[in-house]
Amino acid sequence: MLHFRRIAVAPLVFGLGMSAAIAAASDANGSAYDVALKCAVANGVAEQDEHDAGHPQRVVEFEQKSHRSFDLAVSLGGKIGLSNEQIQRDLDAAKDNELPRMMRDQSYYLGIVSTCKAVGLM
């Protein structure tokens, strides 16, 4: 009888473990999604800085990195169940919220740049 209970409990424990793993993956994808959006915005700031400095090659480089960051956000957003419309709204919100903060707070911007570099998006 005790042996039967262990077998009956095993799928429940396995199921709970899978749920936790799925939740953790979803949380990780959500965090990575947020970082990718911030990197898309930060690369846009760097692109404008390079444009203002007269460095056309660097402008192209940061434009490509911004697109790559956004493409990653689209991919990750899809993995967490977001529609393309929601992803675009999130990018617009990131521009509205993050861009002004990056422009007025150099240490915040440099922190985002550091994160983006660490994950290969800048």
Give the SS3 label for residue 80.
coil
> Residue 42 and residue 95: Cα distance in Å, rounded?
9
Q: pLDDT for 94-118, tens place per residue? A: 999 999 999 999 999 999 999 999 9
Q: pLDDT for 46-57, tens place per residue? A: 999 999 999 999
Res 35: pLDDT: 95
Nearest to 68 by CA among 104, 31, 116: 116
* Residue partners of 63: CB distance under 8 A and separation at least 6: 43, 47
The answer, yes or no, to whether residue 1 has pLDDT greater than 50, is no
The answer, yes or no, to whether residue 13 has pLDDT greater than 80, is no
Res 29: pLDDT: 60
Q: pLDDT for 18-31, tens place per residue? A: 333 334 444 566 68
> Residue 115 and residue 122: Cα distance in Å, rounded?
9
Sign of CA dihedral 108, 113, 116, 118: negative
